[in-house]
DNA sequence: CACGGAGTTAGACTGTTAGTCTAGACTCAC
DNA sequence: GTGAGTCTAGACTAACAGTCTAACTCCGTG
């Protein structure tokens, strides 16, 4: 993939809309050309095909999330506070790019090899969050969990799935109203306050 | 889609393997024919195309999950105990069908329209779990959350994502070892035991 | 045992479209 | 003004999904 000029990158969200609405399969390269205003031959000049356009969109969105997460993690607050910021950051990025998110749920496998996508998410999210969780144990604002990586996956899954449930049914996604509902589960847990933490 | 005879349905998991490994796109109908032993013309006799084969696989797996979830929900235990059973049931179904799960992450949009898939998951999972959460408030084994539907999504996402992280990287998925790590987060929460539940 | 219908299959055929290639136009730097 | 890089139109090809036809096998029924 050649270096994509900003002028062209700026027009690709129109392609995401197409991918999200009809699916990658039912979107012809010609359709992308007319929706974005970038001629077919030019698209092939920059991208190997439509999957590479989706991959570009994905990497761009993931980079945004990585940036926001990094920012949230580096704030000068307690780990618990920063963790809520991470959740809100992810929701914000997803709310910002509904079309890309919808395009990805339906066609993730064509944005790249699944193991590589998993690696990219690990670097952008799991690793920083895992460190944050460990810091939380040190500063006393979070409880220790036996497996911080799994905990990070749980968080990512919780946020992703609830956000997608909104996007999938075309309801607007409001980070402000959704984040408390998610956070109360993962921070406070579902057991009543008086019950002893279970050791399973 | 014609009623699919059991003899043919039994051979379709081989197709799931193909879809998971190469993706739906790079799997030719001919490939499915030779992998399953069901001739191409017969496949077209029963299914409109390969997406319908994937849809069949998906519906089958989702039905299994719906059954297991229903069973777990109806046990004569406290709601909290039944909730752990629901989580374990989902993990078991996913561990049982790794290929189908991997095929679906990569090609979900071709197993059906996303809104319809969302509806199917709501019926199979969100609704029963939501009722379970409400029962938990009544029997005192679970804390009340402002939005039980979102809580159900959080649970589903937490389990799905952590399970997929294993399957995506071809590591074996062991429900027994994974479920405690998930449950401790969603039941006990990440805040330390002494801190007051946050009201955000 | 003929008959008809449903299930099953081989093989040929068609249409769509992804992706390639060519060649020309239009920059800009030097 | 020469050459390298960018961009685009249009023609072409190869692959594959999906269709169709026609045959062949089993059934159960009259």
- DSSP secondary structure string, B18-52? HHHHH-STT--HHHHHHHHS--HHHHHHH-SSHHH
Position A73 scores a pLDDT of 97
pTM: 0.94
Position B6 scores a pLDDT of 92
Confidence of residue B197 (pLDDT cuts 50, 70, 90): low
Smallest Cα distance from A25 to chain B, Å: 9
Q: Is the pLDDT of residue A199 over 90?
A: no
| A118 chain-B contacts, CB cut-off 8 A | 165, 168-169
Query: What are B195's two structure tokens?
Result: 């801190």
Cα(A25)–Cα(A21) distance, integer angstroms = 11
Three-state DSSP state, B3: coil
Query: What are B32's two structure tokens?
Result: 């499915």
Residue nearest to nucleotide D7 (CA to C1'): A42
Q: What average pLDDT does range A118-134 have in this prediction?
A: 97
Cα(A114)–Cα(B21) distance, integer angstroms = 10
Cβ of residue B142 closer than 8 Å to a chain A Cβ:
yes
Lowest mean per-residue pLDDT among A55-64, A168-177, B126-135 = A168-177
pLDDT tens by residue, B67-78: 999 999 999 999
Contacts of B20 (CB under 8 A, 6+ apart): B98, B99, B100, B101, B102, B103, B106
Q: How far is CA A82 from CA A65, A79, A86, A197, B160, in A?
A: 15, 5, 6, 23, 25
Nearest to A62 by CA among A15, A111, A24: A111
Confidence of residue A200 (pLDDT cuts 50, 70, 90): very low
Q: Is the pLDDT of residue B55 over 80?
A: yes
**In this predicted complex, what is the ipTM?**
0.93
Position A2 scores a pLDDT of 85
């Amino acid at each position: 993939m050649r270096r994509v000029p900003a002028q062209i990158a700026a027009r690709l969200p129109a392609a995401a809309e197409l991918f999200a609405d009809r699916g990658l399969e039912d979107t012809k390269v010609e359709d992308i050309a007319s929706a974005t205003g970038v001629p077919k031959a030019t698209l092939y000049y920059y991208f190997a095909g439509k999957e590479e356009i989706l991959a570009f969109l994905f990497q761009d969105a993931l980079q945004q999330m990585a940036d926001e997460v990094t920012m949230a993690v580096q704030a000068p607050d307690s780990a618990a506070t920063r963790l809520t910021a991470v959740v809100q950051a992810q929701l914000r990025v997803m709310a910002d790019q509904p079309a890309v998110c919808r395009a990805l749920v339906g066609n993730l496998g064509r944005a790249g090899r699944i193991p590589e996508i998993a690696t990219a998410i690990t670097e952008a999210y799991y690793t920083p969050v895992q460190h944050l969780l460990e810091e939380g144990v040190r500063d006393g604002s979070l409880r220790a969990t036996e497996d911080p990586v799994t905990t990070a996956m749980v968080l990512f899954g919780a946020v992703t799935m609830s956000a997608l449930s909104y996007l999938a049914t075309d309801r607007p996604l409001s980070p402000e109203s959704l984040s408390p509902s998610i956070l109360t589960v993962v921070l406070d847990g579902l057991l009543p306050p008086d019950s002893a933490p279970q050791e399973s």
